[in-house]
Amino acid sequence: MKFLDLAKVYIRSGGGGAGCVSFRREKFIEYGGPDGGDGGNGGDVWAEAVEGLNTLIDFRYQQHFFAKSGQHGMGSQMTGKSADDVVLKVPVGTEILEEDEQTVVADLTEPGQRVLLARGGNGGWGNLHFKTSTNRSPRTANPGQPGVERTIWLRLKLIADAGLVGLPNAGKSTFLAAVSNARPKIADYPFTTLHPNLGVVGIDNHEFVMADIPGLIEGASEGRGLGDQFLGHVERSRVLLHLVDGTSDDVATDARTILTELEAYSPVLMEKPRVTALNKIDAMDDEAIAERKAALEGEISGPVLLMSGVAKLGVTEVLRALWTQIEPSRQTAKDDPEAPWQP
């Protein structure tokens, strides 16, 4: 299935049905009086987060969602039928934005969460509502309220416990394939990964979800390369795994490039717990490993783990370090299930 994380849709709620002007006409009943019924309500437009979806590809083929209008009122005090609602089924983690792509209308982070996007118009009153002691035969009825028409954007941000970041060819996809059942494309050229991949990782009888996004390059926050269009998918992660290619000539500069782009995208990403690992140690000798580890630790001012996704060296230690960061936030969510998702 093709991955799509941004879609523009057009929605319109249904208009209310018009009220009816009618008078009772029955044999042997003189001056029957007004009996016009009310119009039915127009259909609402809702968005609902559902499980089992991880892409917005359905909205590539259908962009218009229009609810029907309510039925008009009828004589004999018969109210028109209200129209059915229209529900947009979206993946968990979908943000709903205004047409300007900046204003957030809602953020659906839990299965079953719903938000009203456009309320249907109320049905108009029939002339029965206008009957008074001085106006026994009103010939007035209200038209139904019009529906609401608007344009919105759907933006999907995958919900994962751990997010992989790094330069192109840092070994992110290889690592994800080594620790999960995910099968991302792996090749020896930059930007092999063109869309995010998810994998379920197991360590010490625990499981968590890991997301791999396309590699970042210098200037990504300004649109270079694939830009920062996929960074939103790790924005919700509880911890980031920063992979640095150990075979690079300057690992410190590589690490600083990624950190600079994360900070330019959002200060939230820089504040997240982060595990840094020097990858591809199977292709280096001990002296080179020690030298580049020291350079990397000096750049990030923190510990650096050693690993190789291909040879599966040090992978367990990296996963345990990630779980150490994930477990406390999961426990907090478990203790307070009513608390909102904290990315």
Q: Which residues pair with 280 in a beta bridge?
A: none
59 is in an annotated binding site: no
Length of the chain: 343
260 annotated ligand binder: no
147 is in an annotated binding site: no
Residue 128 assigned to a binding site:
no
Is residue 14 within 8 Å of residue 70, measured between CB atoms?
Answer: yes
Question: Is 80 annotated for ligand binding?
Answer: no
62, 115 in Cβ contact below 8 A?
Answer: no
Q: Is 103 annotated as a binding residue?
A: no
According to the annotation, is 193 in a ligand binding site? yes
310 annotated as a binding-site residue? yes
Question: In angstroms, rounded to a whole number, what is the distance separating the alpha carbons of residues 102 and 8?
Answer: 13
In this structure, the number of other CB atoms found within 10 A of the CB of residue 193 comes to: 23
Annotated ligand binding at 192? The verdict is yes
Q: Is 191 annotated as a binding residue?
A: yes
**Orientation angle between helical segments 286-300 and 251-265, nearest 10 degrees:** 30
Known binding residue 217? Answer is: no
Instruction: Confirm or deny that 56 is annotated as ligand binding.
Output: no
Angstrom distances, CA of residue 35 to CA of 28, 124, 295: 17, 14, 86
Residue 76 known to bind ligand: no
> Annotated binding residue at 280?
yes
143 is in an annotated binding site: no
Whether residue 171 is annotated as binding a ligand: the answer is yes
Q: How far apart are CA 10 and CA 148, in angstroms?
A: 11
Q: Which residues are annotated as a binding site for Mg(2+)?
A: 173, 193
Annotated binding residues for GTP, written as ranges, equal 166-173, 191-195, 212-215, 279-282, 308-310
Annotated binding site: 166-173, 191-195, 212-215, 279-282, 308-310
